[in-house]
Amino acid sequence: NREAIVRVHDFYSRDPRFSFILLPENVGKRKAQIAAIGQSSGDLVLNVDSDSTIACDVVSKLASKMRNPEVGAVMGQLTASNRSDTWLTKLIDMEYWLACNEERAAQARFGAVMCCCGPCAMYRRSALVSLLDQYETQLFRGKASNFGEDRHLTILMLKAGFRTEYVPDAVVATVVPDRLKPYLYQQLRWARSTFRDTFLALPLLRGLNRFITLDVIGQNVGPLLLALSVVTGLAHFIMSATVPWWTILMIVSMTMIRCSVVALHSRQLRFLGFVLHTPINL
């Protein structure tokens, strides 16, 4: 969509603080990142997606965490910039809060955030340069990978011996899908990335805290067990013509407990409404 950015480019290209790289064709996010990193000179590299807006203090807060030379990458807290648009964007905003302030925050206690999310992440340039060849040549089913860049790059950082961190007060607002079909396509793409890159991360787990191992197992086995429960329930209904109430009761109970705990933890009653995300998750 080069035509859409010409006006922005023309305005900022006159500013000596900015340097634009116009590639001859659309080659995807990964190769665009590599082109920019290759021409960079600073100690730190900040990646911001085009649909994301960072708070004025995000750069300084992320950079402060990078003062520790053991840290190779760091991410901020994601929110949905369009969260008030539809019921779905409200649910996604809650989902992002959970992913950041429970999952990433817990992983950060052990210096091993497993995915520094694409909308806004800061990297140590010296570490990035040494990993670019591996990053660029990742294959999936024999073809160059075009999804899951953020998770793959984070795992490469961890494999190289760097810590990955999370800064909760570095707030980044990003546009989320407001319709169900695009959202499901996005989730399927992310799920493929999670399952695929888990195998890449397996050798890492021996050197990380046991919590991280438990967390990785939970992230991958949990959805499979949930799918198995649904399939088993459907099979029970088809074969016996009776409703599998125990399966339904178990899923409903776990959902209500989960949302109640989060509402108490966050002190936000809105998370009681996150129960509506369960049928979408199924």
- Is residue 48 scored above 90 in pLDDT? yes
Q: How does pLDDT run across 184-240, given as a tens digit for each residue?
A: 999 999 988 888 888 888 899 999 999 999 999 998 898 889 889 999 999 999 999
Distances (CA, A) of 271 to 71, 100, 144, 255: 32, 15, 39, 11
- Mean pLDDT in the chain? 92
Per-residue pLDDT tens over the stretch 147-178: 889 999 999 999 999 999 999 999 999 999 99
Global pTM value:
0.91
Helical residues (DSSP H) of 147-274, grouped into ranges: 149-159, 180-201, 210-240, 245-266
Alpha-carbon distance of 114 to 208, in angstroms, equals: 11
**Mean pLDDT to the nearest integer, 259-279:** 94
Predicted pLDDT of residue 6: 81
Calpha distance 154→118 (Å, rounded):
10
Q: Which domains are present in the chain?
A: 40-208 (3.90.550.10), 213-281 (no CATH)
Q: Say if residue 281 is exposed, middle or buried (CB neighbours under 10 Å; 0-12, 13-18, 19+).
A: exposed
Residues 6+ apart with CB under 8 A from 160: 72, 127, 130, 131
Alpha carbon of residue 231 to chain centroid = 28
d(CA 109, CA 107): 5
**CA dihedral in degrees (104, 105, 111, 113; nearest 10)?**
0
Q: What is the pLDDT of residues 85-144, one digit of tens each?
A: 999 999 999 999 999 999 999 999 999 999 999 999 999 999 999 998 888 888 777 887
